Amino acid sequence: MRKTCLIIAGLLVSFVANAAPNPEMIVVCYPGGLVNAKDANEAMSSMLRVLERVGQWQENSFISLFTAKADECRQRMAEKRPKFAITSLGLYLELRSQHNLVPIVQPMIKGLTHERYRVMVQKDKYKSLDELKGKSLGGTVLEEQSYIGKIVFAGKYDPASFFALKKSNQAIRALRALDKGELDAVILNEQQFGGLGSLHLQTPLAAVFTSEEIPLMGVVANSATTTAEERARFSKALEGMCADTEGKKLCELFGVEAFAAVDPTVFEPMVKLWDKGS
């Protein structure tokens, strides 16, 4: 599952020794993720070079600042005020007004630009989410508890008060704990759920909760500091990345089939849920 942690983080940039004059900083946030630094650096640097070539920017026009901590992402967004950023959906919803954020591109995975979250338990041990009240819940996505409560559970359950939360930075570790009975449940995103078959767990698992469709988040732009032309150029470059010979190999490595321009209306239900729970 490690490579799936790089899907969003690997969209863009990394540490560049010989950057162009005044390179544009892009803040990259992957809350709760565990990313191997060497793998991340190589992947993001490679992605950036392709992005610049496809978009016809000078080489090393962009640099990035990556973090797997939500609090650090908030701090970096405030300090750097980037024109473009890669954020989770939860951070976008939280920071959109403060930083004038608008989504411009989404990753497409297995033909879809949306996902579902699932709460997994040992099969037949629990029948519903309500039976898990006060029980232990693990998972990497618990770094963003407000997002899980407001969006994934649609405001019906507050993770902090309903469960005994056991945050993890590795989905595999949480699932193995569930397999051994050390956890009562684990919450997974779509990519983590898709990797279950490769783990060969001893105990059969079942989902006691499946969320509604939730749009995948990719790149956002600050609409106050970018022009419509800049946003369109950035979006077009990303849309062309997976069609590029070199870019296609990188997209396949990250499990991304394509990057699609955003239909802003797909995020409107998410905004309403978020604001309703505020």
Looking at residue 21, its pLDDT comes to 62
Burial grade of 77 (CB within 10 A; 0-12, 13-18, 19 or more): buried
Burial grade of 253 (CB within 10 A; 0-12, 13-18, 19 or more): middle
Q: How far is CA 89 from its chain centroid?
A: 7
Cα(213)–Cα(211) distance, rounded to whole angstroms?
6
Cα(115)–Cα(151) distance, rounded to whole angstroms?
12
Closest CA to 223 of 96, 76, 74: 96
Return phi, psi of residue 14, to 5°. Answer: -150, -160
Which H or E run includes 259?
strand 258-261
Collapsed DSSP state (helix, strand, coil) of residue 175: helix
Within 10 angstroms of residue 135's Cβ, the number of other Cβ atoms is 16
Residues 6+ apart with CB under 8 A from 234: 55, 84, 104, 105, 219, 221
pLDDT in tens, the chain (278 residues): 444 444 444 444 333 334 456 888 888 888 876 665 456 556 667 777 888 999 999 999 988 777 878 898 999 999 999 999 989 999 999 999 999 999 999 999 989 999 999 999 999 999 999 999 999 999 999 989 999 999 999 999 999 999 999 988 889 999 999 999 999 999 999 989 998 988 889 999 999 999 999 999 999 999 999 999 999 999 999 999 888 888 887 788 777 899 999 998 999 999 999 999 76
End-to-end CA distance of the chain: 33
Looking at residue 264, its pLDDT comes to 83
Q: Hey, what are 31's tokens?
A: 């809350």
Helix, strand, coil content of the chain in percent (nearest 5): 45, 20, 35
pTM: 0.87
Contact between 250 and 50 under an 8 Å Cβ cutoff? The reply is yes
Looking at residue 47, its pLDDT comes to 79
Looking at residue 36, its pLDDT comes to 53
